[in-house]
Amino acid sequence: MKFSWKLINSFINLKDINFNEFQEKLTLAGIEIESIENKEEIEDQIIDLSITSNRREIFSTLSLAREISIILNKPLKLFPIKLLNKNNINYETYSHQTFIKFIRIHKMNNLSFNKTPEWLINTLNINQIKHNHLLNNIQEYIYIKWGETFQILNDNNMNEIKNFKEIFKSFNTRNAIKTNYRNNNNLCNSITIMFTISQEINIKNQFQYINNSIDYYENFYIDAIKLISTLTTCTINKSYNLYNEKIELNNIINIKKNDINTVLGNTKNKQFNFLSSKNILNILQQLKFFPLYNKAIQTFTVTIPIYRKHDITRQIDVIEEIGRIYQFKYFFKQIRKNNKKGNKSTTSLKIKKIRYTLRHLGLHEVITSSLTNTQNNSITLYNPITNEQKNLRHTILENLVENYLYNIKYENKNIEIFEIGKIFKKNKKNKYIEKKYLGGLIYNKEYIRPKWSEKPKNINFFHVKGILETFLEQINAYVILKNISENNEIENIHNNTHLLKKNHRLGIYNKNNQNFIGVIGELNTIKITKKRKHIYIFEIDIEELNKAMIKNHHLNNIIKVYSNYPSITRDISIKLKQNTNINKIKENILKTNPLLIESVEIFNEYYGKEKRKESIARFVGLRIIYRAQNRTLNTDDIQYIETNLKQITQQI
């Protein structure tokens, strides 16, 4: 569509605007300039624009000037003149269901049909319109300039404009509408013309979109009347007016500020901020959307102008207009990458470390279902999917044993597995508790070979204990392994007592508060597989283990002065009962003389026959190192040590 630069400047002053800048801003706003042609003979520039289908309201010089005014934020030269109200004379109303909002009819006499001015013909030529007689040329020019025009009434077009028939029937001043055209299109010196406000009107047998805003209707009417009276030197009679009382409702849209920020994103400023509320409000006012802002709920309420009702119907349309006016080049083209990682809980990080450590120690992670068919101390579901999965498990070890049996069935020799999963149980108050546990099972028939000439041997309890201690050390768990007390057996491992051998199990305790963390022991295979096999299992409460894990922010070493004096070493052999705890014996020895005893170490354990008895006894070899911090041990000290050792052996 072609527009005259000179005619555009009659509505808005663009003389101080750089033409290249004007072209760039118009293109960025979505109105593409296809070509620019300089007409030196008429001292004008012809701009050929590509108007998209959704912006069909831009079809006249006024509508283009109004859009340029919004884009450049420059005011128009003309101000809208208020439309004649119903208090004017010659006023009639009608309420037909029609697209006509307002009609004004004039009778004009004594017309002189002079030659059409050159400037008017040039405007018609720009738009490739064939010029005819003067009045018809004026009609076309007014349409190019204002987007609407008057109609010349005669017998022919009165029949064609069928939409006006019902209106004219109720028009009391219809005598004013007279036929003043001859059938051969030769003009008389008296005519009747009609001005209307409508959404669409049949012009040249085609329905064209008409600017249905009444803002500049009086301006268009006055300009048309002045042009007709000036060029034809006619006399204009009084007007007859007809109003449609039907009220047209405005389209109101509410938009949240957060939605605007989400769609448009950050701006390319130093702070990478979103558009401020003030900027958004100014842009909406610039668009003539009559905005209101509710600060409490951060919502904009806009009233869409009538001439934009066809393409501004949703929130996203308003947001697009805001981005178009602010210019999309000032927003990020791509979604900004957020390098910040999400907040990970300490528990999840510690569980990740537990998994990593166990895998590096050679164990394989398995995942089993929390649903089981075991009824022993388990929680029963009210509406289970299947009978095989109708209970919630109370221990992970049973699932690991089932996994072991499955692998043995398919002749997998070495099974070293662990699982981190949930267990469910009731507390003393009959409340359901869900906890996360770590369970493990180790079975390896070829774990160690004492000599290359010998066959590999099965893993034993001490090997498994060493693996678990290595694991606990690597995760910085401040724990101790010791015998399980009767209270802990009743409270904590009663669900697993049927799985563990009584004399082959140890408890895992927090060194700081002596809270029970877990258990390690040998599987009672006779009850499970009815075969004697060395299978070892462990189960640990993840929550309690996390409490025992310490951070390596600093070293907890205690600095002591190293003694420069020589030491005395004594080895003793002590006879012990089968279930005697050696750690308690070491503690008792250290208490006898803490100033002289530097360390007590176990260097041997063996079994031998007692004298005068045929039974086999258990013996433990202890190495005790004596050293003083401030002197060399003398003969008296050595005698005291010998006497002390005799007392210790006798007590034990």
Q: 340 lies in a domain?
A: no
C-alpha–C-alpha distance, residues 417 and 586, integer Å: 35
Q: Are 49 and 187 in contact (CB under 8 A)?
A: no
Q: 138 lies in a domain?
A: yes
What is residue 516's DSSP assignment? E
How many whole angstroms from its chain centre is CA 491?
45
CATH number where 164 lies:
3.50.40.10
Statement to judge: residues 141 and 198 lie in one domain: yes
What are the backbone dihedrals phi and psi of residue 433, each rounded to the nearest 5 degrees, phi first? -125, 135
Residue where one domain finishes, among candidates 222, 244, 266: 244
Task: Please state whether beta strands 516-523 and 500-510 pair in parallel, antiparallel, or not at all (unpaired).
Answer: antiparallel
For residue 107, give the nearest of 189, 219, 227, 220 by alpha carbon.
189
Statement to judge: residues 368 and 487 lie in one domain: yes
In the chain, the amino acid numbered 357 is T
CATH number where 24 lies:
3.30.56.10
Structure-block tokens of residue 498: 């049927």
Please tell me whether residue 134 adopts helix, strand or coil conformation: helix
Structure-block tokens of residue 23: 């072209």
Q: What is the pTM of this model?
A: 0.51
Please tell me whether residue 328 adopts helix, strand or coil conformation: helix
The band of 53, judged by pLDDT with boundaries at 50, 70 and 90, is: confident
Q: 84 lies in a domain?
A: no
The listed range with the strongest mean pLDDT (232-241, 289-298, 603-612) is: 289-298
The listed range with the strongest mean pLDDT (330-339, 399-408, 450-459) is: 399-408
Count the alpha carbons within 13 Å of 495 in the hemisphere toward its beta carbon: 22
The band of 426, judged by pLDDT with boundaries at 50, 70 and 90, is: confident
Statement to judge: residues 369 and 431 lie in one domain: yes
Statement to judge: residues 123 and 239 lie in one domain: yes
Give the neighbor-by-neighbor strand order of the sheet with 597-609. Answer: 568-576, 616-626, 597-609
pLDDT of 155 over the 60 cut: no
Which are the contacts of 564, defined by CB distance < 8 A and separation ≥ 6? Answer: none
Q: What percent of the chain has pLDDT over 90?
A: 21
Statement to judge: residues 68 and 96 lie in one domain: no
The mean pLDDT of 420-439, rounded to a whole number, is: 89
What number of other Cβ atoms are within 10 A of residue 307's Cβ?
Answer: 20
Q: 133 lies in a domain?
A: yes
The mean pLDDT of 110-132, rounded to a whole number, is: 87
C-alpha–C-alpha distance, residues 310 and 304, integer Å: 10
Structure-block tokens of residue 122: 């040039």
pLDDT of residue 164: 58
C-alpha–C-alpha distance, residues 221 and 226, integer Å: 9
Angle subtended at Cα 103 by Cα 99 and Cα 107, rounded to the nearest 5 degrees: 145
The band of 181, judged by pLDDT with boundaries at 50, 70 and 90, is: very low
CATH number where 384 lies:
3.30.930.10
3-state secondary structure 577-606: CCCCCHHHHHHHHHHHCCCCEEEEEEEEEE
Q: Are 176 and 165 in contact (CB under 8 A)?
A: no
What is residue 176's DSSP assignment? G
pLDDT of residue 335: 63
C-alpha–C-alpha distance, residues 395 and 495, integer Å: 7
What number of other Cβ atoms are within 10 A of residue 402's Cβ?
Answer: 14
Statement to judge: residues 26 and 117 lie in one domain: no
Q: 67 lies in a domain?
A: yes
Q: 557 lies in a domain?
A: no
Statement to judge: residues 396 and 260 lie in one domain: no
Q: Are 217 and 83 in contact (CB under 8 A)?
A: yes
How far is residue 185 from each of residues 136, 156, 188, measured CA to CA in Å? 11, 11, 9
Residue where one domain finishes, among candidates 244, 267, 286: 244
**More confident call, 160 vs 321:** 321
C-alpha–C-alpha distance, residues 120 and 126, integer Å: 10
Statement to judge: residues 421 and 488 lie in one domain: yes
* Mean pLDDT (the chain, rounded): 81
The band of 175, judged by pLDDT with boundaries at 50, 70 and 90, is: very low
pLDDT of residue 112: 85
Q: What does 409-441 look like in DSSP terms, one character per residue?
A: HTT---EEEEEEEEEEEE-TTS-EEEEEEEEEE
Q: 86 lies in a domain?
A: no
Which are the contacts of 186, defined by CB distance < 8 A and separation ≥ 6? Answer: none
The mean pLDDT of 599-615, rounded to a whole number, is: 78
pLDDT of residue 91: 47
Q: Are 376 and 496 in contact (CB under 8 A)?
A: no
Q: 411 lies in a domain?
A: yes
Q: Output b/e per residue, 287-300; b: 16+ Cβ within 10 A.
A: bbbebebeeeeeeb
C-alpha–C-alpha distance, residues 14 and 405, integer Å: 89
The band of 178, judged by pLDDT with boundaries at 50, 70 and 90, is: very low
Residue where one domain finishes, among candidates 189, 215, 244: 244
Structure-block tokens of residue 397: 């070890």
Please tell me whether residue 175 adopts helix, strand or coil conformation: helix
Q: What percent of the chain has pLDDT over 70?
A: 83
* Residue the block writes with tokens 């694991």: 471
Statement to judge: residues 223 and 176 lie in one domain: yes
What confidence tens digit (pLDDT) does each residue in 211-227 have? 445 678 888 999 999 99
Statement to judge: residues 459 and 523 lie in one domain: yes
Q: In the chain, how many domains are there?
A: 5
Residue 197: enclosing H or E segment and its boundaries?
strand 190-198
Statement to judge: residues 309 and 265 lie in one domain: yes
Statement to judge: residues 371 and 511 lie in one domain: yes
Structure-block tokens of residue 189: 């010196």
Which are the contacts of 75, defined by CB distance < 8 A and separation ≥ 6? Answer: 12, 69
Residues in the chain, overall count: 652
What are the backbone dihedrals phi and psi of residue 599, each rounded to the nearest 5 degrees, phi first? -160, 155
State which residues form the domain around 621: 568-651
In the chain, the amino acid numbered 509 is Y
The band of 84, judged by pLDDT with boundaries at 50, 70 and 90, is: low
In the chain, the amino acid numbered 104 is R
What confidence tens digit (pLDDT) does each residue in 550-601 have? 877 666 667 777 888 999 998 888 888 777 778 888 888 888 888 888 888 9
What is residue 549's DSSP assignment? B
For residue 105, give the nearest of 200, 12, 57, 174 by alpha carbon.
174
